[in-house]
Amino acid sequence: MKYLKYIPVFLLCMAFAYPKDTDCKKLFTGKWKYKNIDPKNLFVVRTLQKQREYVDSGKHFYEFKIHWIDKCSYHLIYVGTTSAHPASIKAGDSLLVEILNIDKTKMTYRTTVSNGAQDNDEMEKMR
């Protein structure tokens, strides 16, 4: 019972942790790298409608269409690849991506695959 007094403080902090009126699209486009992967091995280039994940020092890519659900959530729909290594998903398969936090230098997000498995990760904007 003594912990009940902390619940309102926790809820208040959560409410202000990420503004609901943030439009993630404003910071979304450009060239990104995954936090723990060397960009020589994999980097991402995004527009508001398309994402390409470049591999092999940029020689090949995996392409996705982007379908926005709201200001900070979208479906990433696999289109195909120029790589000899097939993707682990089929053309037309979709992932749900929820942007948890974004600024001019980094993005934290959650990905949900079709079986419900989720993964949180971070990307850094490349200059």
The domains of the chain are located at 21-125
Distances (CA, A) of 22 to 15, 18, 27, 32: 13, 8, 10, 20
pTM above the 0.85 mark?
no
pLDDT at 22: 82
pLDDT digits (tens, 9 = 90+) for 103-117: 999 999 999 998 899
Please give the average per-residue pLDDT across 18-35, as a whole number: 85
Q: Give me the residues paired with residue 108 across strands.
A: 101, 122
For domain 21-125, give the fold.
Lipocalin (2.40.128)
pLDDT at 127: 80
- Tell me which of 20 and 32 has the higher pLDDT: 32
Please give the average per-residue pLDDT across 36-60, as a whole number: 96
Please give the average per-residue pLDDT across 44-51, as a whole number: 98
